[in-house]
Structure 1
Amino acid sequence: MIRMLRTRLGAVRNVVRVASCGYSNGPVMPPCDFTPSPYKGPDYGKARDIRKNHLNPVVSTMTYYKEPLLVHQGYMQWLFDHEGRRYLDMFGGIVTVSVGHCHPKVTAAAKDQLSKLWHTTHIYMHPQVHDFAEKLTSHLPGDLKVVYFTNSGSEANDLAILMARVHTGAFDIISLRNAYHGASPYTMGLTSLSTFSYPLANGFGCHQTANPDVFRGVWGGANCRDSLSQTTRSCSCGDGACEAGDNYANQLKDVLMHSCPKKVAAFFAEPIQGVGGVVQYPKNFLPQAAELIRERGGLVIADEVQTGFGRTGSHFWGFQTHGITPDIVTMAKGIGNGYPLAAIVTTPEISQSLNKALHVNTFGGNPVACAVGSAVLDVIKEEGIQANAARVGEVLIRGMMKLRDQFEVVGDVRGKGLMVGVELVTDKQSRQPLPAAEVSKIWEKCKDMGVLLGKGGLYGNVFRVKPPMCITEEDAQFACEVLEVVLKECQ
């Protein structure tokens, strides 16, 4: 009886804490009809000690906030800490939770498959991998119909590098400065952010070209982006033209002429840069880049790890917003709604290149992972997730644009759908990055008011706003209101 009373009391405490989340004079958090179960894990102090003593120090380096959250439970767009406090997750576990934390249909699919078959590898056939492969490739255009499943985006990009080099017989690969494609030994050469660079020999044959950033780069103006939000820089481009896109394409041409042999293996690009701070390229840049690469026999590889599965709102895949069809597409994160799952999709011809030797991924195409991935695709379709990303994304971007116009510290707002970046600066004229301490102050206060934001960009001065795509317009408005209150406090 006593134990039952304690359990009920704990549930009541959770509800009270949830209801009182945020400052008493702050915006009212949208309602939630979910109550988390009582937390039964190690206390906060012990959890921090375990993290310090038994997890690699780099894990602690990546931990968010001065007092890191001890997350206990998730439900759709909400996270709950060990004390039952509720947070609006506007970062989606680093852009990974696509249709919602513990989405009922996805959870049910995982449970059902767990009760039948956990693992086989490719040495046997099982229905889930075949069903998912057919369903996934039906969402891709043209001859992009052959899939190889892996466990992470880095693995997918690793394999794309290998496949491109074997297929073309060339070695050199070009990526963009400020890009992030993984931190494995192979992909470390593609990633071009010093914060992820070790003083080791890597990236043989990898070259970087100028990042086509219309806010911080050499070229760019007020009409360059395919976005509701443009930069405040002046622009002299006429209709249908983009001088910035042409100039950055010429930079790529210069790299090809001076740094590469006559034939190259591939060009890698995220349709919108993620870790680099939600950087959008000028119009016409990617089509020109693709043409330059194909003229030299190379493949065009789209890294859709963050932009895929409807997140941009207007299209299912980010590359479609640029009007190109790549030769290889890599994907992860949202594909499994947080379950370890990734894939590389290419054409039948290019896929044959792996037959020149054996290649195996023990857990690629895992039955549970494929069941989860298939359920995610069903939810995206049945619940209109892509349309929701477009609709709520517009509310979010317009709300952030108002903050840009209101506060000197908000230098730029950019993005499509529910992939949004808010860059903080000392002032709009100089565009100097806001110092880390000031960025963290704003970031911490948003957390204290119940809104979790990501950070990115080379200087860590960009708020990455990429929530589960099930969020509502009310949620988006709440996030904007919280940021407005915090910016006023921090002026």
Structure 2
Amino acid sequence: MSALLRSHLCAGIRAARPFGTGARTCYQVPQLPACDINPQPYQGRVYDELLALRRRHLPPWMITYYRQPLLLHQGRGQWLWDSTGKRYLDFFAGIVTVSVGHCHPRVTEAVKEQMARLWHSTNVYLHPGIGSYVERLCATLPPPLQVVYLVNSGSEANDLAMILSRVHTGNHNLITLRGAYHGTSYTTMGLTSISAWKFNAAISSGCHPVMCPDVYRGLWGGSKCRDSPVQTLRTCSCPSDQCQAREAYLAEFQEMLKSTVPHQLAGFIAEPIQGVNGVVQYPRGYLREVSEIVRDRGGLYISDEVQTGFGRLGSHFWGFQSHGVMPDIVTMAKGIGNGFPMGAVVTTPEVAGSMSEAWNFNTFGGGPLACAVGTAVLQVIEEEGLMEKAESLGNDLMMQLSDLRHDFTIVGDVRGKGLMVGIEMVVSKESREPLPGLEMNEIWEDCRDMGLLLGKGGIHQQTFRLSPPMCITQEDINFAIRVLRQALERHTKRGRGPA
């Protein structure tokens, strides 16, 4: 009997996956929060045919999630429907991309209106949308960050930031953090410091990774280090005005500079919170002090806000603001367009003026459609109070997740800010050894079966990533917690690990 058929026969009782034993146990599946959207019936090609076409014509490095990849059909708000009509709560937001909700009516209407008027115009011409958009975007940023160049993706934005820093300073070497993800283009792959995203080919030179100041898994860390409602379980005797972990990581940064790079730098790039590496947070004050060290060597500080920007962190619109630091360049994408391919680089007039020696042209960046989408997204974030919502709901989410950490030994760490949250899974709290991939996948698949979509991250893929659209509700938070708790209980009953 198929799992799908069995789920219908159980009428709300879903069969657990029979990992290794061949036996099945029925569990009461948490009920999804109410939704007043009636999805349209799926009328496309059948699942097996589409899967075969993908395998035949798309490259093998295009990974899919889950044993049986989802065939998504429709989305609205925080909800997604597959081709069978099953509804899912999207807690990964298209990889931290859907900021205001799938198919938000305001954004959808803006696209329709603009498409009926003018689809495309390159930036060699004027059109009203781009002026209005960059004015509204710059209003969210502190001066002198007031010069905008629009592109199509985060990789493009970070690629341009590399050029800007090198042209402006006249220097070549850039510092990045281990565990960083800044793109997979030829140049940005040099900045990305996760081996799973690197090919065995020559990549751009002059990019140097330094130890990531991870206060949970790194060499140093304690219970007062990070800007999060939930701290690590590592002990800490630091006074209130001094973080020993921060000082140790800064000393390591200085040692790397002495041994690895020339005295003059082009810049340092960092995410305010590492996303792909599993929502890794640094000690308070680390980025501020590193930026001063880099500037003393002639370099610029670049803040990669591709995942942390546009209010997702709740307390501030931009992640760098929560660190009390001022960047020279800010890169952004993903949430900027709520799923529309769009990115931007924002910098100072002084840095922007350095590029006048040659032309830089982007065919689609800043086109009428992109600017209509971007403007609508900013309006929705402001009018619906989504930043404030991200802070309050994110705090509640993390506090409820901290209860799971207390109840299950395999939940090693809960961290994050706003609606950018990580749950690091371990064999035991004492060892902090990453939970094996098979066990991670079992829990992950169980959550999917119960209607909750999560991401994964970390060097060892040991961290569940929770970054839902900012339109979620308290009921959605409570449902996600119930699903996670049941998935962890199932893991315990399988004999994989004690509670």
Give TM-score, length-normalised by structure 1: 0.95
Query: Counterpart of 2:303 in 1: which secondary structure?
Result: strand
* Displacement of 1:125: 0.5
Q: Distance in 2 between matches of 1:470 and 1:286?
A: 30
Matches within 5 A, 1:330-479: 330-479=331-480
Query: Counterpart of 2:282 in 1: which secondary structure?
Result: coil
Query: Counterpart of 1:469 in 2: which secondary structure?
Result: coil
> Where does residue 78 of structure 2 map in the other structure?
77
* Displacement of 1:98: 0.2
Given residue 146 of structure 2, which amino acid in structure 1 is its aligned partner? Answer: K
Given residue 367 of structure 2, which amino acid in structure 1 is its aligned partner? Answer: N
> Where does residue 488 of structure 1 map in the other structure?
489
**Is 2:13–2:28's contact at 8 Å kept on the other side of the alignment?**
no
> Where does residue 227 of structure 1 map in the other structure?
228
> Where does residue 64 of structure 1 map in the other structure?
65
**Is 1:21–1:29's contact at 8 Å kept on the other side of the alignment?**
no
Given residue 170 of structure 1, which amino acid in structure 2 is its aligned partner? Answer: N
* Displacement of 1:128: 0.7
> Where does residue 97 of structure 1 map in the other structure?
98
Paired residue for 1:39, among 36, 39, 42? 42
> Where does residue 50 of structure 1 map in the other structure?
53
**Is 1:316–1:386's contact at 8 Å kept on the other side of the alignment?**
yes
Given residue 32 of structure 2, which amino acid in structure 1 is its aligned partner? Answer: M
> Where does residue 182 of structure 1 map in the other structure?
183
**Is 2:90–2:469's contact at 8 Å kept on the other side of the alignment?**
yes
Q: Distance in 1 between matches of 2:483 and 2:237?
A: 36
Query: Counterpart of 1:423 in 2: which secondary structure?
Result: strand
Given residue 52 of structure 2, which amino acid in structure 1 is its aligned partner? Answer: D
Q: Distance in 2 between matches of 1:331 and 1:418?
A: 17
> Where does residue 128 of structure 2 map in the other structure?
127
**Is 1:173–1:205's contact at 8 Å kept on the other side of the alignment?**
yes
* Displacement of 1:251: 1.3
Q: Distance in 1 between matches of 2:168 and 2:13?
A: 55
Q: Distance in 1 between matches of 2:237 and 2:370?
A: 49
Q: Distance in 2 between matches of 1:203 and 1:360?
A: 21
Q: Distance in 1 between matches of 2:44 and 2:126?
A: 39
Q: Distance in 1 between matches of 2:406 and 2:229?
A: 14
Give TM-score, length-normalised by structure 2: 0.93
Residues 229-265 of structure 1, C-alpha deviations (whole Å, 9 max, x = no match): 1110111110121111111111111121111112100
Q: Distance in 1 between matches of 2:253 and 2:357?
A: 31
Residues 364-401 of structure 1, C-alpha deviations (whole Å, 9 max, x = no match): 10110110000000000000000110111011111111
**Is 1:21–1:450's contact at 8 Å kept on the other side of the alignment?**
no
Given residue 431 of structure 2, which amino acid in structure 1 is its aligned partner? Answer: S
Matches within 5 A, 1:185-334: 185-334=186-335
* Displacement of 1:203: 3.3
Structure 1: tracts of 5 or more residues without a match = 1-15
**Is 1:25 matched with 2:44?**
no
Given residue 310 of structure 2, which amino acid in structure 1 is its aligned partner? Answer: F
Given residue 48 of structure 1, which amino acid in structure 2 is its aligned partner? Answer: L
Q: Distance in 1 between matches of 2:136 and 2:154?
A: 20
Residues 190-227 of structure 1, C-alpha deviations (whole Å, 9 max, x = no match): 00001011111223111111000000000001111110
Structure 2: tracts of 5 or more residues without a match = 1-7, 16-26, 493-499
Query: Counterpart of 1:386 in 2: which secondary structure?
Result: helix
**Is 1:137 matched with 2:138?**
yes
Residues 433-464 of structure 1, C-alpha deviations (whole Å, 9 max, x = no match): 00000000000000000000000001011000
**Is 1:173–1:267's contact at 8 Å kept on the other side of the alignment?**
yes
Q: Distance in 2 between matches of 1:448 and 1:309?
A: 31
Given residue 282 of structure 1, which amino acid in structure 2 is its aligned partner? Answer: P
Given residue 36 of structure 2, which amino acid in structure 1 is its aligned partner? Answer: D
Query: Counterpart of 1:490 in 2: which secondary structure?
Result: helix
Aligned length: 473
Q: Distance in 2 between matches of 1:251 and 1:150?
A: 35
**Is 2:329–2:346's contact at 8 Å kept on the other side of the alignment?**
yes
> Where does residue 113 of structure 2 map in the other structure?
112
Given residue 232 of structure 1, which amino acid in structure 2 is its aligned partner? Answer: L
Q: Distance in 2 between matches of 1:22 and 1:313?
A: 35
Given residue 432 of structure 1, which amino acid in structure 2 is its aligned partner? Answer: E
**Is 2:12–2:28's contact at 8 Å kept on the other side of the alignment?**
no
Q: Distance in 1 between matches of 2:58 and 2:245?
A: 45
Runs of 4+ in 1 over 4 A off after TM superposition: 19-24
Q: Distance in 2 between matches of 1:489 and 1:368?
A: 47
Query: Counterpart of 2:61 in 1: which secondary structure?
Result: helix
Q: Distance in 1 between matches of 2:417 and 2:92?
A: 15
* Displacement of 1:174: 0.1
Given residue 94 of structure 1, which amino acid in structure 2 is its aligned partner? Answer: I
